[in-house]
A and B are shown apart, each in its own frame.
Chain A
């Protein structure tokens, strides 16, 4: 595998369910990101991790819980979501947070909350 992979690609969950999104990067990067992409809204940065330490948390509701066990893996744990949380969740990585380095994106997980 190369680049940034995300699983699952599609997820349908009820509001009382607990699920997790997984992201893995094979680029040797030290920074990883979660974004939310909703229709007709700009990409929203949710979390930034640098060397497994969370360095940015953009006022995200606690029903979203990130986890970064190592620099290659990033999870987003979901519980008691709301229908408005339905969106495309994108993971990205870069050599370090910010700066001149572009971010490499995974294909995303399409989440539908029923």
Chain B
């Protein structure tokens, strides 16, 4: 069965520091992968997605993620954290041909001044 695991339910970094949010997937074939962000009292917003084109994907707000098949990972990074990046981040995966998007448990990112 397909699953998505986000390591660390809570990540805290200083403003200006590197942000690294981890996501690993489990499926028999490489899925399509997504990162969403959720700000307080809002719905989810797409940050970026991998659809089997380039393995390094750039998204909005300076975020990017790299698909690594050998590690079954799709970690999200940003070189320099900003206070406005504080939010909940969700990794999600869907197998080609399937209709169900499977989400990870989410990682709450806190930015320290």
**Chain B: how many interface residues by the 8 Å CB criterion?**
24
Q: Is the CB–CB distance between B106 and A42 below 8 Å?
A: yes
Pick from B41, B46, B51, B98: contact of A107, CB below 8 A: B41
Pick from A4, A50, A55: contact of B43, CB below 8 A: A4
- Tell me if A11 is interfacial: C-beta within 8 Å of chain B: no
- Give 1 or 0 for each of A28-69: 1 = CB within 8 Å of chain B CB: 000000000000111101001010000110100000000000
Chain B residues within an 8 Å CB radius of A48: 99-100
Q: Which label, helix, strand, loop or mixed, suits the secondary structure of the B interface?
A: loop
Q: Is the CB–CB distance between A108 and B43 below 8 Å?
A: yes
Q: With both chains docked as a complex, state the minimum distance between the C-beta of A53 and any C-beta of chain B, in angstroms.
A: 12
- Tell me if B94 is interfacial: C-beta within 8 Å of chain A: yes
Q: Is the CB–CB distance between A100 and B49 below 8 Å?
A: yes
Pick from B41, B46, B94: contact of A98, CB below 8 A: B94
Given known contacts A45-B101, A90-B44, what 14 new A-B pairs fall within 8 Å (CB)? Answer: A40-B105, A42-B106, A43-B90, A56-B100, A90-B43, A92-B43, A98-B98, A98-B101, A103-B101, A105-B43, A105-B44, A107-B41, A107-B42, A108-B43
B residues near A, CB below 8 A?
9, 32, 34, 36, 41-46, 49, 51, 90, 94, 96-101, 103-106
